[in-house]
Amino acid sequence: MVEVTLWGALGQLAGGQSKVEVEAKDIRELFRKLAEQYPGIEPWIEKGIAVAIDGTIYRDTWSKELPKGAEIFLLPRLAGG
Question: For residue 66, which amino acid is it?
Answer: L
pTM of the model: 0.89
Residue 13: its pLDDT value, please? Answer: 93
Q: Where are the domains of the chain?
A: 2-76
In this predicted model, what pLDDT tens digit does every residue of 10-60 receive, in sequence order?
999 999 999 999 999 999 999 999 999 999 999 999 988 999 999 999 887
CATH topology of domain 2-76: Ubiquitin-like (UB roll) (3.10.20)
Give the whole-angstrom CA distance, residue 6 versus residue 24. 15
Question: For residue 12, which amino acid is it?
Answer: Q
Task: Using DSSP, state whether 45 is helix, strand or coil.
Answer: helix
Give the whole-angstrom CA distance, residue 80 versus residue 72. 24
